[in-house]
Amino acid sequence: MGNSATDYIVHHLSHLTYGCLPAGFERADGSIVSNAIYTIAQNAQEAKAMGFWALQIDTLFWSLLTGIIFCGLFFCVARSLSAGVPKRWQNAIEVIVEFVDKNVKDTFHGTSCFIAPLALTIFMWVFLMNLLDLVPVDWIPGLASASGIPYMRIVPSTDPNVTLGMSLTIFILLIGYTVYSRGVLGFISSLTLHPFQHKNMLVQAILIPINLILETITLIAKPISLALRLFGNLYAGELIFILIALIGYYQLPLHFTWAVFHILVIVLQAFIFMMLTIVYLSMAKDSH
């Protein structure tokens, strides 16, 4: 792992990466790769050499695990629903569902059978991924190193691949829902006839390229800002936990204080991601 603070930080911020090393590459142990091989990267240079198609195994594992926990928990509670006094888990799930449902009804202008389930899925999945940031930073990487695994980051939302993947999915839904609600011509007109309009046809024709540039930038900025907001907040929180851990035995008061504050960040970022998704889809539903 290394002895210096820099080595410690780099280790804790490195992903367990699997990909293809090109022929002729010199590995961390000094060996030369004779033929291209698929393997796990042993350092940042190997991960970089693997290129775009490399897989970050830890991100995939923990994001799938949190998704399975979310689905399994809600499925088990749904199977054991009772009309009497709700049990502890049933009561907690009902509070979450009612909270999400209320925000969807207050924000989404229209009727749709998939907006509320989508919002609930986003809120719970992002919340559970963010919640992993409260696990002490040395526990999982330490266990992984003891097992011979070089790296292990457990917070998927600190990986821009996850946040961008989720936001791009929302972006595709946004375009699809716009076309579904307004039609293809309506989608094109939303990009070319707004925000500047004029009754004179010649002037309007001149304004169309300007509108297209402005609306395209606005449209593309939505998923990028959605992804970077979540990534930036959780990455900063993880980095602060790592810096606090460098203090040593005197870290506990600071660690506890930051953890308490970070709980608000965890919930708030899940809520913001959900609400912006609802708002964007509601804007796609509106005719103006």
* Coil, helix or strand at residue 40: strand
* 170: amino acid identity, one letter: I
Distance CA 2, CA 13 (A): 13
Q: DSSP letter at 157?
A: G
Among the options 190, 229, 282, 287, which is catalytic?
Answer: 229
Is position 233 annotated as part of the catalytic site? yes
CB atoms within 10 A of CB 241: 23
Is position 229 annotated as part of the catalytic site? yes
Is position 182 annotated as part of the catalytic site? no
Burial bucket for residue 191 (CB in 10 Å: 0-12, 13-18, 19+): middle
Among the options 4, 225, 282, 287, which is catalytic?
Answer: 225
> Is 77 in contact with 89 (CB distance < 8 Å)?
yes
**What is the residue-wise DSSP string for 210-253?**
HHHHHHHHHHHHHHHHHHHHHHHHHHHHHHHHHHHHTT-GGGHH
Backbone angles phi, psi at 39, to 5 degrees: -155, 180
Encoded tokens for 87: 């049990």
- In whole angstroms, what separates CA 244 from the centre of its chain? 24
Catalytic residues, which ones? 225, 229, 233
